[in-house]
Amino acid sequence: MTTRVLEPPFLICNPKAYLGSADTLKLATLTDELAGEFGIDVLFTAQHVDLRMVSEHTKNLTITAQHMDPIVKGRGMGFILPESLVEAGAKAVVLNHAEHQLTLDVLDATMRRAREVGLATVVCADSDAQCRAIATMGPAMMICEPTANIGTGKMDAGDYVARTTKIVKEVNPEILVIQAAGVTDGQDVANALAQGADSSGGTSGIVQNPDWRQVLTEMFTAIAEHKKNA
Amino acid sequence: MTTRVLEPPFLICNPKAYLGSADTLKLATLTDELAGEFGIDVLFTAQHVDLRMVSEHTKNLTITAQHMDPIVKGRGMGFILPESLVEAGAKAVVLNHAEHQLTLDVLDATMRRAREVGLATVVCADSDAQCRAIATMGPAMMICEPTANIGTGKMDAGDYVARTTKIVKEVNPEILVIQAAGVTDGQDVANALAQGADSSGGTSGIVQNPDWRQVLTEMFTAIAEHKKNA
Amino acid sequence: MTTRVLEPPFLICNPKAYLGSADTLKLATLTDELAGEFGIDVLFTAQHVDLRMVSEHTKNLTITAQHMDPIVKGRGMGFILPESLVEAGAKAVVLNHAEHQLTLDVLDATMRRAREVGLATVVCADSDAQCRAIATMGPAMMICEPTANIGTGKMDAGDYVARTTKIVKEVNPEILVIQAAGVTDGQDVANALAQGADSSGGTSGIVQNPDWRQVLTEMFTAIAEHKKNA
Amino acid sequence: MTTRVLEPPFLICNPKAYLGSADTLKLATLTDELAGEFGIDVLFTAQHVDLRMVSEHTKNLTITAQHMDPIVKGRGMGFILPESLVEAGAKAVVLNHAEHQLTLDVLDATMRRAREVGLATVVCADSDAQCRAIATMGPAMMICEPTANIGTGKMDAGDYVARTTKIVKEVNPEILVIQAAGVTDGQDVANALAQGADSSGGTSGIVQNPDWRQVLTEMFTAIAEHKKNA
For residue D9, is the peptide bond before it cis, meaning its omega torsion is within 30 degrees of 0? yes
How far is Cα B186 from Cα B211, in angstroms, rounded to an integer? 13
What is the model's pLDDT at position D157?
A: 79
Q: Is the per-residue pLDDT at B1 higher than 60?
A: no
User: Is it the case that chain D and chain B have 3 or more CB pairs lying under 8 Å apart?
Assistant: no
Burial bucket for residue B60 (CB in 10 Å: 0-12, 13-18, 19+): middle
- Better-scored residue on pLDDT, A148 or B209: B209
Roughly how many angstroms between the first and final C-alpha of chain D, as a whole number? 23
Using CB atoms within 10 Å of the CB of residue C114, give its burial: 0 to 12 exposed, 13 to 18 middle, 19+ buried: buried
Q: Domain map of chain A by residue range?
A: 10-229
One digit per residue, pLDDT tens: chain D, 230 residues? 446 789 999 999 999 999 999 999 999 999 999 999 999 999 999 999 999 999 999 999 999 999 999 999 999 999 999 999 999 999 999 999 999 999 999 999 999 999 999 999 999 999 999 999 999 999 999 999 988 777 778 888 789 999 999 999 999 999 999 999 999 999 999 999 999 999 999 999 999 999 999 999 999 999 999 999 98
Q: Does B230 touch chain A (CB under 8 A)?
A: no
Residue D177 parent element (H or E): strand D176-178
Q: Does D100 sit within 8 Å of C78, measured CB to CB?
A: yes
Backbone angles phi, psi at D171, to 5 degrees: -70, -45
Mean pLDDT confidence for B171-189 = 96
Contact flag C107-B106 (C-beta cutoff 8 Å): no
The answer to whether A103 contacts chain D (CB < 8 Å) is: yes
Nearest C-alpha neighbor of C45 from the set C6, C72, C71: C6
Cβ contacts (< 8 Å) between B83 and chain A: which residues?
20
Query: Which of A128, A136, A145, A164 has the highest number of chain D CBs within 10 A, making it the mutation to test binding with D?
Result: A136
Reference B98, options B147, B134, B135; nearest CA is B147
Is the distance from CB of C111 to CB of C95 less than 8 angstroms? yes
B126 part of contact set with chain C, CB < 8 Å: yes
Give the span between the Cα atoms of C42 and C125, in whole angstroms: 20
The chain C residue lying nearest D23, using CA atoms, is C84
pLDDT of A159 over the 60 cut: yes
Contact C43, C223 (CB under 8 A): no
Amino acid code (one letter) for B89: G
**Residue C35's Cα: distance from chain center in Å?**
15
Mark yes or no for CB contact D52/C47 under 8 Å.
Answer: no
pLDDT recorded at residue A157 = 79
Show which of residues 38-97 on chain C sit within 8 Å of chain B, judged by CB atoms.
96
Residue A150 has pLDDT above 90, yes or no: no
B123 CB within 8 Å of a chain C CB: no
- For residue B9, cis peptide bond before it (omega within 30 degrees of 0): yes
Backbone angles phi, psi at D213, to 5 degrees: -60, -40
Q: How confident is the model at residue D3, as a pLDDT?
A: 61
DSSP secondary structure string, C110-144? Answer: HHHHHHHHTPEEEEEE-SHHHHHHHHTT--SEEEE
Q: Which residues on chain A are in Cβ contact (under 8 Å) with B75?
A: 16-18, 99, 150-151
**What does the pLDDT read at residue D148?**
75
- pLDDT for B54 equals 98
> Contact, B190 vs B227, CB < 8 A?
no
Yes or no, beta carbons of C130 and B104 under 8 Å apart: yes
Show residues of chain D in contact with C110, CB under 8 Å: none
**Whole-number mean pLDDT of chain B?**
95
Tell me the shortest Cα–Cα distance from D99 to chain A, in angstroms: 11
| D137 chain-A contacts, CB cut-off 8 A | 129, 132-133
Query: What pLDDT shows up at residue C3?
Result: 60
Annotated catalytic residue: which of B97, B100, B218, B226? B97
Cβ-based contacts of C98 with chain B (< 8 Å): 105
- D18 and chain C in contact, CB less than 8 A: yes
Chain D CB contacts of A136 under 8 Å are 129, 132-133, 136
Q: If you measure CA to CA, which chain B residue comes closest to A21?
A: B84
Question: Mean pLDDT, to the nearest integer, of A212-228?
Answer: 98
Position B3 confidence tier, pLDDT thresholds 50, 70, 90: low
D84, C23 contact by CB (below 8 A):
no
Percent of chain C whose predicted confidence (pLDDT) is above 90: 91
Answer whether residue B2 shows pLDDT above 70.
no
Q: What is the pLDDT of residue B24?
A: 98
Spell out which residues of chain A touch residue D125, defining contact as CB-CB under 8 Å.
Answer: 104
Q: Which has the closest alpha carbon to A7: A210, A199, A209?
A: A199
pLDDT in tens, C193-224: 999 999 999 999 999 999 999 999 999 999 99
pLDDT, tens only, A14-25: 999 999 999 999
Residue range B24-34: average pLDDT? 98
Residue C72, CB-side half-sphere exposure with 13 Å CA sphere: 4
State the DSSP H helix or E strand holding residue C192, giving kind and residue range, or none if neither.
helix C186-194
Most D-contacting residue of A95, A96, A103 (CB-CB within 10 A), to test interface: A103
Would the CB atoms of D17 and C48 count as touching at under 8 Å? no
Please indicate if any CB of chain A lies within 8 Å of the CB of D98: yes
pLDDT at residue B144 is higher than 50? yes
Contact: C104, B106; criterion CB under 8 Å: no
pLDDT single digits (tens) C146-183: 887 777 788 887 899 999 999 999 999 999 999 999 99
Task: Kindly determine whether residue A108 and residue D130, on different chains, have CB atoms separated by under 8 Å.
Answer: yes
Residue D4: per-residue pLDDT: 75
**Taking all residues of chain C, what is their mean pLDDT, rounded to a whole number?**
95
Q: Give residue C78's Cα distance to chain centre.
A: 24
Distance separating alpha carbons of residues D119 and D219, to the nearest angstrom: 26
Architecture of the domain delimited by D10-229 = Alpha-Beta Barrel (3.20)
**A74: nearest CB among B18, B51, B81:** B18
Over 90: is that where the pLDDT of A54 sits? Answer: yes
Model confidence at A3, pLDDT cuts 50, 70, 90, reads low
Q: Is D208 exposed, middle or buried (0-12, 13-18, 19+ CB in 10 A)?
A: middle
> Neighbouring chains of A at 3+ CB pairs within 8 Å?
B, D
**With contacts defined as CB-CB under 8 Å, which chain C residues touch D89?**
none
B191 CB neighbour count, 10 Å cutoff: 17
Flag if C74 and D22 touch (Cβ within 8 Å).
no
Catalytic residue list contains C67: no
For residue C171, the chain B residue with the least C-alpha distance is B136
% of chain C residues with pLDDT over 70: 99
For position A2, what pLDDT does the model report?
Answer: 44
Which pLDDT band, with edges at 50, 70 and 90, does C1 fall under? very low
Separation of alpha carbons B24 and B30, rounded Å? 10
Q: Residue C169 and residue C178: Cα distance in Å, rounded?
A: 12
Segment B79-131, tens digit of pLDDT: 999 999 999 999 999 999 999 999 999 999 999 999 999 999 999 999 999 99
Tell me the CA distances in angstroms from C47 to B138, C53, D9, D91, one per residue in order. Answer: 37, 10, 34, 18
